[in-house]
A = this chain, B = another copy of it.
Amino acid sequence: MAVTLRDVARLAGVSIKTASNVVNGYEFVKPENRRRVEEALAATGYRPNIGARNLRRGRTGFIALVVPELGIPYFGELASLVITAGREQGWNVLIEQTMATREAERAVLTALGPHMIDAAVISPEALHAEDFAELDPGVPLVMIGEHSVDVRIDHVAIDNVLAARTAVGHLVAIGRRRIAAIGAHPHRGTAALRLAGYHEALAAAGLPQRPELVREALRYHRQNGAEAMAQLLALPEPPDAVFCFNDLLAVGALRSIAERGLRVPEDIAVVGFDNTEEGAYSRPSLTSVAPDKLAIARTAVDLVRRRTGGTDAEFVPEEIQTPFTLEIRESSLPRF
């Protein structure tokens, strides 16, 4: 079997405590002993049993990252960054997929007892505000991406309203007047915020709000974008621009537009959201709101560290906004 700390101590001729002290970087160890332990460590190739350590310390060293689905580029990229950021801070990141179902998200909040993980970073898609009130995960929770106004939870995200307003403002600036939106959703917090930004931008430009130009998307996959766009194109007076609430929807929209024989951006300009690499290489390349994913990952992990390390004194949820930019590409170039 594997070598234990006791073996190391025995080999070094010291007590297990001294061996433990060396392993844990405790300062006050007689140099002679330290040397001998280090030799024994090297000779045996000792690796601490994390499970045992955590059992004793009362923590697990794991944080959960709860996302809808890793196969979605945005979440794949985000997960990649969270794993890396977590690793830098000594955490193991356990990924839970909910497939964007409320049920699975509730289950995660319930089942991820304090035994398995020390904290969770969650990007909820379908949870309602009351779920948070009802369910107690028993560990600190950091929410990324979504915002349900009345939930008292730490939250890291970009300013979705401003971002949407910026995106639509850009479409106005390049001369578009019939600007559609794809991605409205009855329960999704981000959807509501982006929709609000869309409406604000139209209002600021003095453009009319046309309900028929706002399309729902129950899931944010390419196919949903393609379907919504097809509906918009079937309108008696189709839009001359469309703001999609994520890049996947936009990629789907591009395809529907192409299938109709229309050109982007000449006939219809398109803007996405998330700035995935896929969008940067699509044809035409996709203008997109670019959240600083690295900042989101780092900030979330940092918040986890503070929440798990600190005292419980008077919980005041933090609301942290991370930066974003608008990456302008071919899909929204001005017509001249």
Contact = CB atoms under 8 A, between A and B. Distances in A.
Interface of A: 2, 47-52, 54-55, 60, 69-73, 75-77, 79-80, 83-84, 92-95, 97, 111, 113-116, 138, 222, 226, 251-252, 254-255, 258, 277-278, 280-283
Nearest to A46: B113
Contacts of A47: 111, 113, 115
A281 B252 contact: yes
A318 to B, nearest CB: 25
A119 to B, nearest CB: 15
A67 B76 CA distance: 12
Contacts of A49: 55, 115
A83 B55 contact: no
A228 to B, nearest CB: 14
Contacts of A94: 92, 94
Given A49-B115, A71-B73, 12 more contacts: A2-B138, A47-B113, A48-B115, A49-B55, A51-B116, A69-B80, A71-B77, A76-B79, A79-B95, A83-B95, A84-B97, A254-B283
A274 B316 CA distance: 47
Contacts of A83: 70, 95, 97
Contacts of A79: 70, 76, 95
Contact of A283 (B72, B226, B282): B282
B115 A50 contact: yes
A322 to B, nearest CB: 18
Contacts of A2: 113-115, 138
A97 B92 CA distance: 12
Contact of A73 (B73, B84, B111, B280): B73
Nearest to A77: B71
A258 B283 contact: yes
Contacts of A54: 51
A58 to B, nearest CB: 8
6 contacts: A2-B114, A47-B113, A48-B115, A51-B55, A79-B95, A95-B95
A336 to B, nearest CB: 20
Contacts of A69: 80
B80 A71 contact: yes
Contact of A77 (B48, B70, B282): B70
- In order of increasing CB-CB distance, the 7 nearest A-B pairs are A76-B76, A47-B113, A70-B80, A71-B77, A49-B115, A71-B80, A283-B283
A229 to B, nearest CB: 12
A253 to B, nearest CB: 10
A111 B84 CA distance: 16
Given A48-B115, A73-B73, A80 B97 contact: yes
